[in-house]
Amino acid sequence: MKWWAMRFARECVTEVSARTLTTDSPSYSIIMELDRKVRGFSIPEPATDFVTAASGTLLAKPQDKVISVAESLGRFFRSNITREVSESI
C-alpha cells in the first residue's frame, strides 16, 4: 500500500468509521466536517489519474482496450503474487 493510502486510512477512514458507525446517528454538522476532511485530503499527482478513472470521470485513452473480468483478475493476482514473492526473498 502506498504511503498516502495508509495516511488516508489513518487520518480519514478511521475517523469516519469511529464517528458514524455508532448506535447514535451523527449530526449533520459532523457529517459535513467529515466530508470536508475527506474531500480536502491531498492525493499525490500520480495517483490522481487512477482515482479519477476509478470514479468513472476520466475518459479512456484511445490505446486502452476493454478487457474481461477474468483478464483483469488475472492481472491483479499476478501483480500481487509477484510483489509478495519479491518482498519475501
- The reported pLDDT for the residue numbered 6 is 86
Distances in Å between the Cα of 39 and the Cα atoms of 29, 32, 52, 81, 87 are 15, 10, 13, 33, 33
Q: What is the C-alpha to C-alpha distance for residues 10 and 2, in angstroms, rounded to an integer?
A: 13
Can you give the pLDDT of all 89 residues of the chain as single tens digits? Answer: 578 788 888 998 999 999 999 999 999 999 999 999 988 988 777 666 666 655 555 555 555 677 788 887 887 777 776 555 555 55
pTM over 0.75: no
